[in-house]
Amino acid sequence: MSNTPMAANPLTRAVLEIDEYVSGLGWDQPARLFALVDTARLRAEQPSLADKLGLDGEQESAALTPIEQDGIPTGKPLDEFLGTIAWPDAVTGCALTVERLMLPPSAEAQVPEGLDEAALTKWVAEHPERQEVRMTVAVLRDGARESALRLREKDSPTEVLTGSELVPGLAQALTATFEE
């Protein structure tokens, strides 16, 4: 967590930490899933893992530690994959990073009618106003959510937009992974 800006909220700090980590890997990355665990609980219950992760006792007790999970299957739609996840009680929340192409709202009126999903994807990919964006979305069991958006053309830690309602559909899908 070297260059992560200090944020007041532990969930925002976790999202920015994940964004910084994935940013260091470069663009054109696969989606990545993270468990969020209470740092103090992790240090108390699994001190060897906490040591391995570099968590020292100086970090505040309200902190969350992101732990990257195994790779997300590439041949399965993301929403179907998320529907297969169940988290153990020790996991306080989860986060997902994913890269997508986005269009500005002004391009909505230009979308040709009757396109299937593949044709729409191709149309967006070829649109001159498209933007590549990396979204990091995190949710907690209690319903709290946070997101970070980074545009490829403004790839800088000072240009990351954060907010709880930036990617509501993805936040809802992640929240559903905690439902029984």
pLDDT tens for 63-92 read 898 999 988 888 888 888 998 898 999 899
CB 99 within 8 A of CB 133: yes
What percent of the chain is modeled with pLDDT above 70?
89
pLDDT tens for 152-166 read 988 888 889 999 999
Integer Cα distance of 78 and 72 in angstroms:
8
Decide the pairing of beta strands 93-102 and 131-140. antiparallel
Both tokens of residue 134? 């990396």
What are the angstrom distances between the C-alpha of 66 and each of 13, 129, 148?
A: 10, 34, 15
**Which is nearest to 145 in space by CA: 121, 176, 120?**
176
Number of neighbours of residue 129 by Cβ within 10 angstroms: 11
**8-42: b or e for each residue (b if 16 or more CB lie within 10 Å)?**
eebbbbbbbbbbbbbbeeeeeeebbbbbbbbbbeb
Integer Cα distance of 123 and 128 in angstroms:
10
Residue 75 has a pLDDT of 81
Task: pLDDT band for 2, please (50, 70, 90 cuts).
Answer: very low
